[in-house]
Amino acid sequence: MDFPWPDAGTLLDDVMTPLPVIDEDRLAANIARAQEYMIEHGLAFRPHIKTHKIPAVAQQQVDAGAIGINCQKVTEAEVFADAGFDDILITYNILGAARLARLMALNDRVATLRVVADSAVTIAGLSAAVQDKPLRVLVECDTGAGRCGVQTVQAAVDLARAIAAAPGLQFDGLMTYPAIGGADAVEAFLQDAMAQLAVAGLDCPVRSNGGTPDLFAAHLVPSATEHRAGTYVYNDRSMMRAGECGADDMAMEILTTVVSRPTPTRVVLDAGSKALTSDLLGFTDYGVIPALPGSRIVSLSEEHAVVDLTDCTVPVPGIGAQVRIVPNHTCVVSNLFDRMVFHRAGVVTRVLPVAARGTVW
């Protein structure tokens, strides 16, 4: 199947929609701004590749000064190892014989690979599967986000001891994916855990903190040695709400076309949940159309977005007009497309495979 990806040099006005596109200048500025902040505060930066899933973009992040990358799944890390990345943290409890075998093959070929564990079951599985090269393991801590992670400092210390005692494993530190605005809780947890680990005679060289919503507050967790973030690279509506970026920092837009105008206050665009996903992230509509102030994307089906223009303050676009959407959440959009189109000032610069799209394992 010959899908209609544009060539370099194509004008965005001429591409087939729906299509997410990345502004090269905004991308570069987002990468530079985050890295400069981390350097200013003496923090190591480890971008999460989930947002772009593209080795060439990760290389831009590393070229700017990132110490390595963060992946979520083994197959995702395999894609980036194939591309030559040699410092990878997989922030996931990895379980199951087949997946553990792949993980250990990865450990053998990546210079610095780390994983996390939040249970004795995960630690036992890692230890049983490890091959010649020791595997570095961080203890995942729940400092308020309510997802994975040990609930107490005592539990973290207990797991650290278990890792240190497990054949083939090396306890390498702590990792948390904190609640938004949770700097104080993270810092208190880390300080307490580091003190208790020192009493237990365990080194804790890595303290990995994370999240784009707290990226520019990372200095409020001085006990962290590194910060992980993904969404900052493209930014999105949810990041603007978090105060993380402004309207001019949105590197990703979704190009769409008006395909129907059934009533004076309703237009239908050709981008549905197959282009935007249905991620709301707390919003009540499915993205923002900057050029149509007051418009609301009130519903999505797979191939249609219904836009309510009742409160729109500018003329309604005609059928066939191109309309740009800033998505609620960029990472999930990347996961829907085989390739990503980059542009500068409306001219396509490069079209790259989204190499790690669909890597759920």
Q: List the one residue from 30, 61, 70, 93 that touches its own copies (CB under 8 A).
A: 93
Task: Verify binding: residue 9, its own copies, rule CB under 8 A.
Answer: no
Task: Verify binding: residue 79, its own copies, rule CB under 8 A.
Answer: yes
Q: Dihedrals φ, ψ of 136, to 5°?
A: -85, 130
Whether cis (ω within 30° of 0) applies to the bond prior to 18 is yes
Task: Verify binding: residue 109, its own copies, rule CB under 8 A.
Answer: no
Task: Verify binding: residue 47, its own copies, rule CB under 8 A.
Answer: no
Name which of 38 and 169 has its Cβ closer to its own copies: 169
Q: In the window 283-322, what residues touch its own copies (CB under 8 A)? A: 299, 301-304, 306, 318-320
Locate 224 and state its tokens: 């962290």
Q: In the window 131-150, what residues touch its own copies (CB under 8 A)? A: 140, 142, 146-150
Residue 76, number of CB atoms within 10 A of its CB: 25
The backbone region for 299, taken as left when phi is positive above 0, alpha when psi lies in -120 to 50, beta otherwise, is: beta
CB of 40 to its own copies, least distance (A): 29
Stretch that binds its own copies, among 28-36, 126-134, 203-211, 334-342 (CB under 8 A): 334-342
Alpha-carbon gap, residue 300 to 186, rounded angstroms: 38
Name which of 38 and 50 has its Cβ closer to its own copies: 50
Task: Verify binding: residue 122, its own copies, rule CB under 8 A.
Answer: yes
Alpha-carbon gap, residue 57 to 249, rounded angstroms: 17
Contact in structure between 3 and 36 (CB atoms under 8 Å): no
Contact in structure between 257 and 321 (CB atoms under 8 Å): yes
CB of 279 to its own copies, least distance (A): 5
Dihedral, CA atoms, 171, 177, 178, 179, nearest 10 degrees?
-150
Task: Verify binding: residue 282, its own copies, rule CB under 8 A.
Answer: no
Task: Verify binding: residue 10, its own copies, rule CB under 8 A.
Answer: no
Task: Verify binding: residue 332, its own copies, rule CB under 8 A.
Answer: yes
Q: Which residue has the tokens 């922030």?
A: 91
Q: In the window 185-244, what residues touch its own copies (CB under 8 A)? A: none
CB of 39 to its own copies, least distance (A): 28
DSSP assigned state of 82: H
Q: In the window 52-71, what residues touch its own copies (CB under 8 A)? A: none
Q: What is the CA radius of gyration of the chain?
A: 22
Task: Verify binding: residue 338, its own copies, rule CB under 8 A.
Answer: yes
The secondary element (H helix, E strand) that includes residue 176 is: strand 169-176
Task: Verify binding: residue 337, its own copies, rule CB under 8 A.
Answer: yes
CB of 312 to its own copies, least distance (A): 17
